[in-house]
Amino acid sequence: MTVRTRFAPSPTGLLHIGNARAALFNYLFARHHGGQFLLRIEDTDRERSTRHAVEVILDGLDWMGLNPDEPAVYQSTRQARHAEVALSLLEAGHAYRCYCTADELKAMRDQATAEGRPPRYNGMWRDRDPAEAPPGAPFTVRLRAPQQGETVVQDLVQGEIRVANAEMDDMIILRGDGSPTYLHAVVCDDHDMAITHVIRGDDHMTNTFRQSQIYAAMGWERPHFAHLPLIHGPDGAKLSKRHGAQSVVEFREQGFLPEALNNYLLRLGWGHGDAEVLSRDEQIRLFDLDGVGRSASRMDYAKLTHLNGVWLRQADDDRLADDVLSRLAGREGVTLDDAARSRIRALMPGLKERARTLVELADSAAFLARQVPLPFDAKASSLLTPDARALLRELALALAALEPFDAAAIDAALRIFAEQQGRKLGQVAQPLRAAVTGSTMSPGIDATVAALGRDETMARIGAAIGG
């Protein structure tokens, strides 16, 4: 058997973090077992589904590196097939026409509620002759579900789960306008796509029991099911805006790397010993469903941010520089010319050591693209005292004649200058950092000055000391 999994989002909103984790688990499970990962866009809700939402989903999956092995299937293009299956069930006696009006259905629900029963359909047309319906009356097609016994699911995460068939009513599989219901369409699609494993959130558990009845009625082999516990906020409540970012797009905008988000989502509800930082190859090698826990996970934004910093420090400098440049584009007071690009790339090894997100990285690199005179923050301004300005004037003379103008030579020159002035190195380095960056935080001052270059360094010192 070739393992085939699928991710099947509805394009009615953003790619939520819970859905993204489901996509990741489907992808890794398929890869681990040498199978295929597929994508189905469940866009049958034509009023709420938008092309923009589809593009957001595709963009998010591409950013996360979760690319399907076959072209995406759009559920809306398969409605004729869904209707065909429903009508075959009707012809075989496994489904029937229901002519209930909206008022009759409401009366059923109201009566059941008043009697303390679940508001379910009471089977009014299950055994009636369709000839009793008014000529030309609209109808739905309902599954003739078993009323005795149990439906049993051997869930690969939750274990064996049983539901009495008497607790489930005859669900609609084809609406009055001939369109399929969601539960019916999913079964048809999973069967036709030869899906072997359905891995999704445990909020679909009830759907699984209903869908199992369609599989049984059609005589189709049922896929294996695995229901993942949901992701909650740090306080244990349902994840919401008040907790922070919820969608893949938001995490990307906030400066998280896809490697870090994938790594974090993998560890959110799955474990393998003490393994924490895992590459994609390691994830594929280790992942299986027996490592998935049964309890809901709690989103820990601080842990994700820390993990992102770990991945930042491992990331390629050219890639990070490109991202920083894109985030700085359009910022007030920033000029992204060739000189600025060169400085950012040269200083990237030092910049990324302190950053936890790409936003922080861009903020810390912005000074490299500013023109003189620089804006100074409060701490930097406080360092540029008259004494410090006089010190910088002498230091500028020493740096102007320095050869070569690289980090090693600059470090040596600063140490010699500090010793000659009878000062500690920090008493020289901090005013210099304030003058050339506008702040008191930067990578090593030797690397910073080297990245700026001789001319820019002289210009910034001159502007800071007033000529």
Which of helix, strand or coil describes residue 155? strand
For residue 410, the Cα-to-chain-centroid distance in whole angstroms is 44
Same domain, 97 and 215: yes
CATH of the domain at 84: 3.40.50.620
The structure tokens 């090593």 sit at 444
Say if residue 244's pLDDT is above 70. no
Which of helix, strand or coil describes residue 331? coil
Last residue of a domain, one of 228, 253, 268: 228
Same domain, 100 and 237: no
CATH of the domain at 415: 1.10.10.350
Q: What φ, ψ does residue 440 adopt, rounded to 5°?
A: -110, 10
Same domain, 240 and 366: no
Provide the domain count of the chain.
4
Last residue of a domain, one of 314, 331, 347: 314
Q: Which tens digits make up the pLDDT trace of 96-115?
A: 999 999 999 999 998 988 88
Q: Which pTM value belongs to this model?
A: 0.92
Please report, rounded to a whole number, the percentage of residues in the chain having pLDDT higher than 90.
88
Last residue of a domain, one of 164, 194, 228: 228
Q: Which tens digits make up the pLDDT trace of 26-41?
A: 999 999 999 999 999 9
Q: Which tens digits make up the pLDDT trace of 50-94?
A: 888 999 999 999 999 999 999 999 999 999 999 999 999 999 999
Q: What share of the chain is helix, strand, coil (3-state, %, to 5)?
A: 55, 10, 35
| Predicted confidence band of residue 235 (pLDDT cuts 50, 70, 90) | confident
Same domain, 421 and 302: no
Same domain, 87 and 210: yes
| Predicted confidence band of residue 352 (pLDDT cuts 50, 70, 90) | very high
What pLDDT does 245 receive? Answer: 65
| Predicted confidence band of residue 227 (pLDDT cuts 50, 70, 90) | very high
What pLDDT does 467 receive? Answer: 59
Alpha carbon of 70 to those of 20, 193, 455: distances in Å? 19, 10, 55
Are β-strands 140-143 and 95-98 bridged in parallel, bridged antiparallel, or unpaired? antiparallel
Query: Mean pLDDT over residues 221-227, rounded?
Result: 98
Same domain, 325 and 346: yes
What pLDDT does 47 receive? Answer: 74
Say if residue 287's pLDDT is above 70. yes
Please report, rounded to a whole number, the percentage of residues in the chain having pLDDT higher than 70.
99
Same domain, 210 and 92: yes
How many C-beta neighbours within 10 Å does residue 252 have? 18
Same domain, 221 and 89: yes
Structural domain span for residue 328: 315-371
| Predicted confidence band of residue 17 (pLDDT cuts 50, 70, 90) | very high
Same domain, 251 and 332: no
Query: CA–CA separation, 397 vs 336, rounded Å?
Result: 29
Query: Mean pLDDT over residues 268-274, rounded?
Result: 85
Say if residue 242's pLDDT is above 80. no
Residues 449 and 410 sit within 8 Å (Cβ to Cβ): yes
Same domain, 218 and 291: no
Same domain, 325 and 446: no
Same domain, 321 and 285: no
Q: Which residues are catalytic?
A: 241
